[in-house]
Structure formats: structure tokens, C-alpha cells
Amino acid sequence: MSKVIGWQHSDENAAWRKWREEMWIALVFGKIQPREPKEDDNVKLAWVIINKERKMVGLDTVTRKAYKLRDDRPTWIRPLQEIEYDSFERWCTSFDV
């Protein structure tokens, strides 16, 4: 159980202290810890042709593999579920979403 210090819990206070120290190191020395790469770092929304139908998918910009999207909103399902497509049409714009 964490102890309350003022209006913050001690674990939250420790997390903010760590963030503040890392921020100052980054500002002064220009160094930050590299983040872990994720499997979907290169995935963007795109329109592709699947069985003569135009579909929105998540498309990897490097490998050109297409990934299935969720039904309720235009984001890809994690873990990534690869699907086959016939041809690439275009990248999605903010107006498509």
C-alpha cells in the first residue's frame, strides 16, 4: 500500500520525480533513453483492393504487409493479423478517418 504525501501517493510522487530527472538530463545533455520498438511502428492506414472491393487496412510502410482493422474504429488489431490484398490504392488522409 502506498503512503500519501501531501496530495500524492508515494509511488506517484516517485514516478513524477523519475520523469522530472530524466527530462532535465534530456534538456541539459540532449540524451534520452531509446524506447522499445513496437511491432506496429511502421503501420499506417491505407486503402487497398481486396477481391475487387476497396478496403481500409493497416499497411506496413516498409514490408507492405496489410493488417486487419477493428470493426468499431479504424485501428489495427493487436497482435497484428496479416491479410492478403490484391493492390495498393492510396494512403489514408485525415478526411478518411
Q: How far apart are CA 44 and CA 60, in angstroms?
A: 6
**Grid cell of 75 as nine digits:** 485501428
Count the Cβ atoms, other than its own, within 10 Å of residue 17: 10
Helix (H, G, I), strand (E, B) or coil at 50: strand
**Could you identify the residue written with the cell 489514408?**
92
Max Cα–Cα distance, the chain, nearest Å: 62
pLDDT digits (tens, 9 = 90+) for 7-42: 778 888 888 899 898 888 888 887 767 778 888 889
Helix (H, G, I), strand (E, B) or coil at 91: strand
Q: How far apart are CA 73 and CA 51, in angstroms?
A: 22
- Record the pTM: 0.63
- In single-letter form, the type of residue at position 5 comes to I
Domain ranges across the chain = 1-34, 43-91
pLDDT digits (tens, 9 = 90+) for 51-75: 999 999 999 999 999 999 998 888 8
